[in-house]
C-alpha cells in the first residue's frame, strides 16, 4: 500500500546535483511515491506513465542504486541500469523504478538480499498490479543488480508477475561476485562497496533509514560458501522460478557470465537465451541504448504482458553470437547438444620450458614422458607486471577453424613448495601477427580443490568451497579449474594459448589486505604434463551442422564494438526512442 506520509529527509547534498533531465517525449512521471513493505518499511518509487490516461502493463526495476540518476546517460555511471524508460513507456507500458531499502530516500537497512530484501519485489509487484493505471500484468527489467532483484522476486512467486528480462545476472554471489575460485575479489568488491555506500548515504539522514551492513567485514567473516551466501544467491532456488525468463548474457563478463549460464538450464519455466556480443565494461549501456536488442525485449514483453503474438516463442530457444566470426546462429538448447568434449594437452615445447618464450605446446595428442615446468613468486611478478605469463602453452597455427561454445575447464596436475597457493588461468586467442586477446579466465585456490561430483559436469567442475584443505608441500595434486564460458571460433592460422600464473595483479588489490597471510610467499609451483599427469584444457568443440533456422531481425542486427577502458566519452544512442 502507498503511505500517506512522506518520511522526513535532512539533505546533506545540493539536490540539484542529481536533478534528472525532464522525461522523454510521451512520458510523464510521478516521483517519490512511498510504498509500504510487509515489515512496515517504506520504499520510494518513481512511476513513469504514458501521456494518455489508461490502464497499462507495468515493468518494475528494483535496486539500491539511486532512482534519481536513472534518466541520465548510462555512459556516466554503471548504476544507470534500470532499463530504457524512454523506449517502453511511449509504447504502452508503465515503468516503476523502485529505490531499494536502505538507500536514497527509502527506509530500512541494506543487508544485500536478506530475508526482507528478498520479498520486497513481491510486495512491490502486488502493489503495482492493484493500481488504477495497471492492467494487473507486471514484468521486470534491469541489468546486473536490477536482474538479481528479478531472481528474488520470481523465487518469491508473486501472483501478478508475468515475466523477467535479465542481463548480467549471475546466480551465485560467492563464486562470481566475492570469491571467484575461493579467492577474495579485491579489485571489484572493494570498489563496489564504496560505490554503493555513497548511494545509500545520499541524500542524507532519512527517517527510518539505517546504515548499510558492512559487506567487506561480512565477506571476510564468511570466507567459505555456506548459509550466508546460499540464502542470498539464486542458484539454490532456481526451481521456484515459474514465470518466463528472457536471459540476455553478454560475452566476456568476468562476474556475471559464468553463473548466469550455469543457472539457465536449471530454470524450468518457459525461457529464451540470448548470448550477445562482448561488451567490455559497457554491458549496461548496450542494454539501455541498443535499438535491436530493445526491439527483441519489446517482443518479449508484448507477448507475455499484452498477449500479442509476436512470434518470439515460435523461434528456437537459444541464439548465440560467435565472437570470432561475428555471426549469429540458433541452437535448440543450452548447453549446446552437439558439442564434443575435446582435451587439449599441455606439452613440452621444442625450444625450452613453458616458462620462457616461445613457451610450451597445446596439443590434442596426449603426452608421454616430459619434464615439468616451474616458476616462483615473488620472482614472477616482474613478468606479470610486464604483461608476460609465468607459464604458457599454445597450439601451432590452427589448420582450420575451431568453434568453442560453452563451459570449459583446465585439469592441472601441480605441486607447490607451500601449504597453499592459487592458480590464475587465462585463455588467449593469438592472431598471426602476434596480437593477443583474452577470451576466458578462471581462478582456484589450491586449498579449495575439493569437488562436488553431483553438481559437476564436463567443463563445469563444481567446488563446494565449504572448507579449506591445505596441501602437502611437494606433493602432486589434481586441480579442476573452471573457466568463464566462451562462444568463440579460433580462426585458421590463429593459435590458442593457455597462460598459468599464481598471481593476478588485475584481480587482486595491490595492498593484499588479508591474502598476504593466507597465500604464503615465497613459493615455487611446478606444473606436470606427462603420461601419469596429463594436464589438459577441456573444450566444448562444436562441429559444423546445417542451421536449424535462420536468425532474423531484430536479433541478427544486434552487434556493437568493444569499447576499451572504463570511460565512454560520448552519449550516443541515449535516450533510446522511436521504433
Q: Domain segments of the chain: what residues?
A: 15-336+553-557, 340-509+517-541
Cα dihedral sign for 98, 99, 105, 109?
A: positive
Q: By three-state DSSP, how is residue 187 classified?
A: helix
Q: What is the pLDDT of residue 537?
A: 98
Over residues 12-30, the mean pLDDT reads 87
Report the alpha-carbon distance of residue 191 to residue 462 in Å, rounded.
Answer: 28
Q: What is the pLDDT of residue 517?
A: 47
Over residues 77-86, the mean pLDDT reads 95
At 104, list the grid cell. Answer: 536514497
Would the pLDDT of 262 be above 80? yes
Over residues 3-12, the mean pLDDT reads 82
Per CATH, is 340-509+517-541 categorized as 2.60.120.260?
A: yes
Would the pLDDT of 360 be above 80? yes
53 DSSP 8-state letter: -
Q: pLDDT band for position 366 (50/70/90)?
A: very high
Nearest alpha carbon to residue 85 among 75, 101, 97: 97
Residue range 150-162, pLDDT digits in tens: 999 999 999 999 9
**The whole model's pTM is what?**
0.96
Q: Can you give the length of the chain in residues? A: 579
Q: What is the pLDDT of residue 200?
A: 94
Residue written as grid cell 500500500? 1
Concatenate the DSSP letters of all residues of 344-391 into one string: EEEE--SSS-TTSTT-EEEESSPP-S---EEEEETTTHHHHHTT--SE
Q: What is the pLDDT of residue 518?
A: 64
Over residues 295-306, the mean pLDDT reads 98
Over residues 490-504, the mean pLDDT reads 96
Q: What is the pLDDT of residue 382?
A: 87
Q: What is the pLDDT of residue 565?
A: 76
Q: What is the pLDDT of residue 19?
A: 79
Phi, psi of 117 (to 5 degrees): -60, -30
Residue range 161-195, pLDDT digits in tens: 999 999 999 999 999 999 999 999 888 888 899 88
Q: What percent of the chain has pLDDT over 70?
A: 97
Q: What is the pLDDT of residue 508?
A: 74
Report the alpha-carbon distance of residue 226 to residue 234 in Å, rounded.
Answer: 13
Q: What is the pLDDT of residue 2?
A: 52
Nearest alpha carbon to residue 154 among 263, 68, 317, 285: 263
Nearest alpha carbon to residue 360 among 368, 370, 369: 370
Residue written as grid cell 513507456? 89
Would the pLDDT of 1 be above 60? no
- Give the contacts of 221 (CB within 8 A, at least 6 positions apart): none
Would the pLDDT of 569 be above 80? no
Report the alpha-carbon distance of residue 354 to residue 331 in Å, rounded.
Answer: 38
Residue range 532-567, pLDDT digits in tens: 999 999 999 999 999 999 999 999 999 999 888 777
Superfamily of domain 15-336+553-557: Alpha/Beta hydrolase fold, catalytic domain (3.40.50.1820)
Classify strands 161-167 and 245-250 as parallel, antiparallel or unpaired. Answer: parallel
Would the pLDDT of 312 be above 50? yes
Burial code of 397-419, b = ≥16 C-beta within 10 A, e = fewer? eeeeebbbbbbbbbbbbbbbebe
Give me the residues paired with residue 515 across strands: none
Residue range 92-123, pLDDT digits in tens: 999 999 999 999 999 999 999 999 999 999 99
- On average, the pLDDT of the chain sits at 94
Q: pLDDT band for position 247 (50/70/90)?
A: very high
Q: Where are the alpha helices (DSSP H) in 138-282?
A: 145-156, 186-201, 215-221, 227-230, 257-263
Instruction: Please check whether residue 161 is in contact with residue 138, taking contact to mean a CB–CB distance below 8 angstroms.
Output: yes
- Half-sphere exposure for 259 (CA within 13 Å, toward CB): 28
Q: By three-state DSSP, how is residue 241 classified?
A: coil
Nearest alpha carbon to residue 20 among 55, 72, 92: 72
Where is pLDDT greater, at 385 or 299?
A: 299
Over residues 249-261, the mean pLDDT reads 92
Concatenate the DSSP letters of all residues of 432-494 into one string: TTS-EEEEEEEEEEGGG----TTT-BTTB-----SS--PPPTT--EEEEEEEEEEEEEE-TT-
Q: By three-state DSSP, how is residue 320 classified?
A: strand
Amino acid at each position: 500500500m502507498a503511505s500517506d506520509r512522506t518520511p522526513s529527509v535532512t539533505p546533506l547534498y545540493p539536490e540539484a546535483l542529481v536533478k534528472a533531465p525532464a522525461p522523454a517525449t510521451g512520458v510523464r512521471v510521478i516521483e517519490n511515491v512511498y510504498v509500504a513493505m510487509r515489515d512496515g518499511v517504506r520504499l520510494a518509487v518513481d512511476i513513469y506513465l504514458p501521456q494518455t490516461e489508461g490502464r497499462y502493463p507495468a515493468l518494475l526495476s528494483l535496486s539500491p542504486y539511486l532512482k534519481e540518476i536513472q534518466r541520465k546517460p548510462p555512459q556516466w555511471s554503471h548504476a544507470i541500469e534500470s532499463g530504457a524508460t524512454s523506449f517502453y513507456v511511449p509504447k504502452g507500458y508503465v515503468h516503476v523504478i523502485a529505490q531499494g531499502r536502505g538507500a536514497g530516500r527509502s527506509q530500512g537497512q541494506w543487508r544485500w538480499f536478506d530475508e526482507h530484501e528478498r520479498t520486497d519485489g513481491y510486495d512491490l509487484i502486488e502493489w503495482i498490479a492493484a493500481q488504477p493505471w495497471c492492467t494487473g500484468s507486471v514484468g521486470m527489467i534491469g541489468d546486473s543488480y536490477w536482474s538479481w532483484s528479478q531472481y528474488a522476486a520470481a523465487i518469491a512467486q508473486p501472483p501478478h508477475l508475468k515475466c523477467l528480462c535479465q542481463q548480467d545476472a549471475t546466480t551465485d554471489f560467492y563464486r562470481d561476485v566475492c570469491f571467484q575460485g575461493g579467492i577474495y575479489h579485491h579489485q571489484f568488491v572493494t570498489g563496489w562497496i564504496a560505490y554503493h555506500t555513497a548511494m545509500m548515504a545520499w541524500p542524507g539522514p532519512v527517517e527510518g533509514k539505517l546504515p548499510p551492513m558492512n559487506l567487506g567485514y561480512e565477506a571476510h567473516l564468511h570466507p567459505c560458501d555456506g548459509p550466508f551466501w546460499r540464502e542470498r544467491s539464486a542458484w539454490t532456488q532456481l526451481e521456484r522460478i515459474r514465470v518466463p525468463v528472457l536471459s540476455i548474457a553478454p560475452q566476456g563478463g568476468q562476474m556475471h557470465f559464468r553463473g548466469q549460464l550455469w543457472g539457465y538450464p536449471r530454470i524450468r519455466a518457459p525461457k529464451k537465451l540470448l548470448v550477445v556480443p562482448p561488451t567490455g565494461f559497457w554491458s549496461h549501456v548496450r542494454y539501455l541504448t541498443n535499438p535491436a536488442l530493445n526491439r527483441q525485449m519489446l517482443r518479449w514483453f508484448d507477448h507475455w504482458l499484452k498477449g500479442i503474438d509476436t512470434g518470439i516463442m515460435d523461434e528456437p530457444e537459444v541464439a548465440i553470437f560467435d565472437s570470432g566470426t561475428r555471426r549469429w546462429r540458433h541452437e535448440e538448447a543450452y548447453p549446446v547438444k552437439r558439442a564434443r568434449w575435446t582435451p587439449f594437452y599441455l606439452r613440452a615445447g621444442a625450444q625450452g620450458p613453458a616458462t620462457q618464450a616461445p613457451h610450451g605446446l597445446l596439443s590434442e595428442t596426449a603426452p608421454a614422458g616430459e619434464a615439468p615446468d616451474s616458476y616462483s613468486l615473488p620472482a614472477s611478478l616482474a613478468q606479470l607486471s610486464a604483461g608476460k605469463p609465468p607459464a604458457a602453452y599454445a597450439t601451432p597455427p590452427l589448420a582450420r577453424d575451431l568453434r568453442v561454445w560453452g563451459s570449459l575447464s583446465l585439469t592441472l596436475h601441480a605441486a607447490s613448495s607451500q601449504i597453499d597457493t592459487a592458480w590464475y588461468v587465462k585463455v588467449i586467442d593469438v592472431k598471426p601477427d602476434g596480437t593477443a586477446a583474452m577470451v576466458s579466465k578462471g581462478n582456484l585456490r589450491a586449498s579449495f580443490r575439493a569437488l562436488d561430483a553431483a553438481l559437476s559436469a564436463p567443463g563445469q567442475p563444481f567446488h563446494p568451497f565449504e572448507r579449506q584443505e591445505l596441501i602437502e608441500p611437494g606433493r602432486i595434486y589434481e586441480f579442476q579449474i573452471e573457466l568463464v564460458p566462451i562462444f568463440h571460433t579460433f580462426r585458421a592460422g590463429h593459435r590458442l594459448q593457455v597462460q598459468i600464473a599464481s598471481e593476478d595483479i588485475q584481480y587482486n588489490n595491490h595492498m593484499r589486505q588479508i591474502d598476504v597471510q593466507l597465500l604464503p610467499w615465497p613459493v615455487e609451483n611446478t606444473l606436470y604434463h606427462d603420461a601419469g599427469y596429463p594436464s589438459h584444457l577441456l573444450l566444448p568443440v562444436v562441429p559444423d551442422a546445417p542451421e536449424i533456422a535462420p536468425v532474423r531481425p531484430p536479433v541478427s542486427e544486434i552487434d556493437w564494438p568493444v569499447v576499451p577502458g572504463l570511460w565512454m566519452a560520448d552519449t550516443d544512442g541515449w535516450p533510446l526512442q522511436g521504433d
